[in-house]
Structure 1
């Protein structure tokens, strides 16, 4: 077994994509007459897209469009926004480069689907950076369940307790901690006073 590894989340940590998710969700759900506004999107931050759709369907059920089609529309819109407007989060690329200089195995553990992962990594020129890339879309449960982190550690060949995770969301932190990993929280500026980060 390798002694240590670093595992990164993606959305909101490597790339400033959370505003794109909010924008896409508002656009798509409003078109279905779901009264979603941007401030409500934080309720589902860190969930897989299919879980976001299920969350709002349970509260504002619509007709005529399947949940899977709604999720696909959101993902496609986010992909468009990332490809045209995406920017790396401050210090993200430099942190990855430092880990590379230290010869640490690198993993990516995200709630996003593979198609969006590819768009983000291409946008940030990180296509060949990670030794392992895992999407919670392939797991039975998404974050805050630890599955995607446990899968990533297993594929890296590193015990979870020897991994350090970088996360920006509460659900992501819970996921990493539930996998018995050390976690470095990098919350968005507007969320840094959230007392839940102190509890974790």
Structure 2
């Protein structure tokens, strides 16, 4: 990538608001997006899907319990924790197929893309800034969400649940994604919505911008380096400033 040294002034238009931004950096950096709660405001939908799934097996969990067991975890970890018994490979595959089907139905019926996401990604790509996705969801779900966002062609680097063995807050998923991008973790900025996701990126040595879809700005402010409600008014300058610290 040929953006080792540059200084660019540009004007971006977001929802009829003109934002003048000055970007300065002396080395390449990358932006990594979580998916659920970041690209799509889906966590309420996921909560409903998991509740429906566990009720099939006479297990009732509170929203607080689901937040603990589900968000930021790969599904095998969630299932092992909640069932708390040996699960055969065939059983696990069956459970995963069930829950993934429920979640995807919720995506299609009620999923809303976080405002400004597509425009922001296009801005990054226009300035030759590498982008990637690191999610605890399966590849099939990623494909549905990117299609909904109109951003399928924008992401060639995607790390999904099938490519990691450890759930967030373990840093594996973010370290693996940085390696794919060929960018040092310290030069990566992550967008996350969950406590475990933020901690995962922090454990990987990355800067984190919280999206207040799942938790409030106040809840995230003590964990993330910055917090925004959506992508409507964010520019590259914020990322540059965080990475320069």
TM-score by length of 1: 0.88
Partner residue, 2:122 = 97
Q: Which has the higher helix share?
A: 1
Q: Does the CA-based 8 Å contact 2:174-2:201 persist in structure 1?
A: yes
Q: Secondary structure at the match of 1:128?
A: helix
RMSD: 2.3
Q: How far did residue 128 of structure 1 move?
A: 0.6
**2:109 matched residue in structure 1:** 84
How far the C-alpha of 1:199 sits from its partner, in A, is 4.2
The DSSP-based 3-state class of the residue aligned with 1:88 is: coil
Aligned residue in 2 for 1:198: 222
Say which one has the larger Rg: 2
Q: How does 1:112-151 map to 2 (within 5 A)?
A: 112-151=137-176
* Structure 1 residues not aligned, in runs of 5+: none
Match of 2:77 in 1: 51
Superposed, 1:1-200 pairs within 5 Å as: 3-44=28-69, 45-58=71-84, 66-188=91-213, 190-194=215-219, 197-200=221-224
CA offset at residue 146 of structure 1?
Answer: 1.0
State how many pairs are aligned. 197
2 CA distance for matches of 1:38 and 1:22?
7
Taking a change above 3 Å as real, the CA distance of residues 23 and 150 of structure 1, as seen in their structure-2 partners, is: same
Assess if the C-alpha contact under 8 Å between 1:5 and 1:104 holds in 2: yes
Decide whether the 8 Å contact of 1:165 with 1:176 is kept in 2: yes
Rounded to whole Å, the distance in 2 between the matches of 1:158 and 1:22 is 34
Once residues 158 and 195 of structure 2 are traced to their aligned partners in structure 1, the CA distance between those partners, rounded to angstroms, is 21
- Runs of 5+ consecutive residues of structure 2 not aligned to the other structure: 2-26, 225-245
